[in-house]
């Protein structure tokens, strides 16, 4: 494991050297680089001789920092630090759930480096549509929302700082000025992020080279063998070397 220091916080990452653009995996909310998709992508990259980077946001996994002190913008900055300091040359961003939102923000900020994107149940703007009015009121008034998670025995915690940061970085209100190959994969049985959001996102991204794959029996995680195969095919499609 390697690490870089950003604002006094050690950000853990694993870098696999290789040819072609570096494939950078961006985890979802409260997730980390040890998930099955990240590990499978790294294994494929290593077997293919491709460059790959997986990492943990501050407050997650093996990185330092307190989880509840982080925001969408700080995690975006973690991803930017990884692109700037842990990779060289062109990169392909692979964003899962919230990582799909960060993927878009990083691509806009580093348009000279990011050559393609793959979104997996991408969830841009989920601070808007992902919370009820009652939940938003709790965040405003109490500063913290804690809810049971179907993915972990620990509850999912959202802070007012994170929610406000998300609201300040919404993208789905107009065209997204990215003219790069993009693949969006979404399960139609996703209980967390409606698949229609990927269809709308495909329309907003300026590139003509955008393909949306809907998996009729797919859930939010999209981590079954057949789902992983779709993801790897999409990565290979957009990152093929000349």
Nearest Cα to 227, choosing from 190, 176, 173? 190
Six-digit token pair at 64? 């330092």
Nearest Cα to 160, choosing from 173, 179, 144? 144
Alpha carbon distance 42, 12 (integer Å):
15
List CB contacts of 25: < 8 A, sequence separation 6 or more: 33, 37, 38, 41, 42, 52, 53, 54, 55, 94, 96, 99
Beta sheet of 91-96, edge-to-edge order: 2-6, 9-16, 50-55, 19-26, 91-96, 114-120, 182-187, 210-215
Please work out, in degrees rounded to the nearest 5, the angle formed at the alpha carbon of residue 191 by the alpha carbons of 185 and 196: 50
Q: Tokens 């480096």 map to which residue?
A: 113
Give the relative orientation of helices 36-48 and 225-239 as an angle to the nearest 10 degrees.
Answer: 50
Catalytic residues: 97, 190, 220
């Amino acid at each position: 494991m390697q690490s870089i220091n950003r604002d006094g916080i050690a950000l853990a990452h694993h870098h696999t050297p290789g040819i072609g653009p570096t494939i950078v995996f961006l985890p979802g909310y409260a997730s980390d680089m040890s998930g099955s998709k990240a590990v499978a992508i790294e294994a494929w990259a290593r077997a293919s001789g491709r460059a790959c980077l997986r990492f943990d946001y501050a407050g997650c996994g093996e990185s330092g920092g307190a989880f509840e002190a982080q925001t969408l913008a700080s995690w975006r900055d973690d991803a930017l630090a990884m692109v700037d300091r842990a990779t060289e040359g062109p990169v392909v961003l692979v964003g899962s759930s919230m990582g799909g939102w960060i993927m878009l923000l990083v691509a806009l900020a580093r348009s000279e480096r990011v050559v393609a994107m793959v979104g997996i149940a991408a969830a841009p703007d989920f601070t808007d549509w992902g919370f009820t009015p009652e939940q938003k009121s709790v965040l405003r008034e109490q500063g913290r929302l804690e809810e049971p998670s179907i993915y972990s025995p620990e509850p999912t915690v959202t802070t007012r700082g994170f929610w406000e940061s998300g609201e300040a970085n919404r993208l789905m209100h107009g065209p997204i000025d990215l003219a790069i190959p993009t693949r969006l994969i979404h399960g139609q049985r996703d209980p967390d992020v409606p698949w229609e959001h990927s269809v709308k996102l495909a329309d907003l991204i300026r590139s003509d080279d955008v393909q949306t794959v809907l998996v009729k029996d797919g859930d939010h995680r999209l981590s079954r063998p057949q789902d992983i195969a779709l993801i790897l095919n999409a990565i290979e499609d957009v990152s093929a070397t000349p």
